[in-house]
């Protein structure tokens, strides 16, 4: 089996497989192209989050967030069968196929580093740190595709306030589970495992930054980063690290997984910026999953009014 290195990954400028397979029918006059056709024949039939008991269990006490976008949602099937999660495989349908291996109970999350109150949380206690909110956010991936997803989570700032960072804490570093048995993609050296990501403290404290525990009002599926993932909606999707086991407060900028692997392609900030091309393709346009034609990419993924002030005075072409 060929395992792709980061330099081999296909760009979104190549027509996605699910659209290509249907294009001949489209050109021959087949009518009724709908938003779900493009992903309707994806390989996986399983969207279960192994180890969560009832994989479609509802999350109780959820409230709506005023920070949500009013754009049409992608379907549950699209969101759970077209994923980037290299720990479960490098193809878009691999995470859903391999989700059964990612058992998420028991699970703990260590909060440590430059904090006054370090603690190791059981995941179920961790989920009770703050009332859950539904946040409908755009997700924009560096390969120039996007979705609109109804995440369920709570502000990362709620955890930060509980931990009480010291004055030395300038960044927050996140680490994914390393367990090749539960994460078969880690059996190949696609990246230097475990996956590590990070945010500047003001980014971490921003109201839009959340720790997600579900989507569509239900427990987060394994292929979407169960049981706990970061969501930073104005950044490219690879910043939103999945299956978190450690949150560490540090003084220096973390060496993140993609910066370590390909710093010329994936910068630490990774803000959605249509004016900064990836070395192998343009970021000026994107394809919303379920749509045939591309749309214009919005600065900061459409969240410029809320977050542009975080980067005043910075050259975003250098700090990409």
CATH code of the domain in which 50 resides:
3.90.420.10
The pLDDT confidence band at residue 8, using thresholds 50, 70 and 90, is low
Is 1 among the domain residues?
no
User: Residue with structure tokens 């989920």?
Assistant: 127
Q: Is the pLDDT of residue 241 over 90?
A: yes
Q: Given this model, what pLDDT does residue 215 score?
A: 97
Give the pLDDT confidence score for residue 53 in this predicted structure.
Answer: 41
Residue 198 lies in a domain: yes
Range of the domain at 96: 6-311
Residue 27 lies in a domain: yes
Q: Write the DSSP symbol of residue 50.
A: T
In a domain, 320, yes or no: no
Q: What is the pTM of this model?
A: 0.84
Instruction: Work out how many domains the chain is built from and give that number.
Output: 1
Q: CA gyration radius for the chain?
A: 19
Both structure tokens of 52: 């969560």
| pLDDT tens figures, 125-178 | 998 899 999 999 999 999 999 999 999 999 999 999 999 999 999 999 999 999
Is the residue at 299 inside a domain? yes
Q: What angle do CA 318, 319, 320 make, to 5 degrees?
A: 95
pLDDT digits (tens, 9 = 90+) for 164-197: 999 999 999 999 999 999 999 999 999 999 999 9
Assess contact for 210 and 231: CB atoms under 8 A: yes
The answer to whether 146 touches 203, Cβ cutoff 8 Å, is no
Residue 52 lies in a domain: yes
CA distance 89 to 190: 9
Show the beta-strand stretches assigned E in the chain: 63-64, 108-113, 119-122, 133-141, 145-155, 171-176, 196-200, 210-215, 218-219, 229-231, 244-250, 285-288, 295-296
Distance (Å, rounded) from C-alpha 266 to C-alpha 279?
10
Helix (H, G, I), strand (E, B) or coil at 267: coil
Q: Is residue 180 included in any domain, yes or no?
A: yes
Residue 170 lies in a domain: yes
């Amino acid at each position: 089996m060929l395992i792709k290195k980061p330099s081999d990954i296909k760009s979104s400028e190549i027509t996605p497989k699910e659209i290509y397979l249907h294009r001949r029918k489209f050109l021959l006059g087949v009518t009724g192209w709908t938003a779900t056709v493009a992903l309707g024949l994806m390989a996986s039939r399983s969207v279960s989050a192994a180890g969560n008991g009832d994989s479609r269990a509802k999350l109780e006490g959820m409230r709506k967030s005023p920070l949500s976008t009013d754009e049409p949602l992608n379907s549950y099937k699209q969101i759970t069968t077209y994923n980037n999660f290299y720990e479960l495989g490098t193809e878009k349908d691999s995470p859903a196929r391999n989700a059964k291996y990612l058992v998420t109970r028991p699970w703990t999350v260590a909060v440590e580093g430059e904090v006054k109150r370090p603690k190791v949380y059981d995941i179920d206690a961790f989920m009770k740190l703050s009332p859950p909110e539904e946040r409908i956010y755009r997700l924009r991936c560096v390969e120039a595709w996007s979705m609109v997803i109804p995440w369920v989570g709570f502000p990362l700032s709620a955890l930060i306030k509980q931990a009480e960072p010291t004055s030395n804490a300038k960044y927050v570093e996140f680490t994914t589970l390393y367990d090749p048995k539960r994460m078969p993609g880690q059996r190949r050296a696609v990246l230097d495992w475990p996956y590590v990501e990070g945010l500047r403290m003001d980014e971490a404290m921003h109201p839009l930054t959340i720790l997600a525990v579900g989507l569509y009002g239900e427990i987060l599926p394994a292929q979407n980063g169960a049981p706990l993932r970061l969501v930073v909606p104005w950044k490219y999707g690879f910043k939103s690290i999945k299956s978190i086991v450690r949150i560490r407060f540090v003084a220096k900028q973390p060496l993140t997984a993609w910066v370590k692997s390909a710093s010329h392609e994936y910068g630490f900030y990774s803000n959605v910026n249509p004016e900064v091309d990836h070395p192998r393709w343009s970021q000026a346009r994107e394809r919303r999953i379920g749509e045939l034609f591309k749309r214009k990419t919005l600065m900061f993924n459409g969240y410029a009014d809320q977050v542009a002030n975080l980067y005043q005075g910075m050259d975003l072409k250098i700090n990409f």
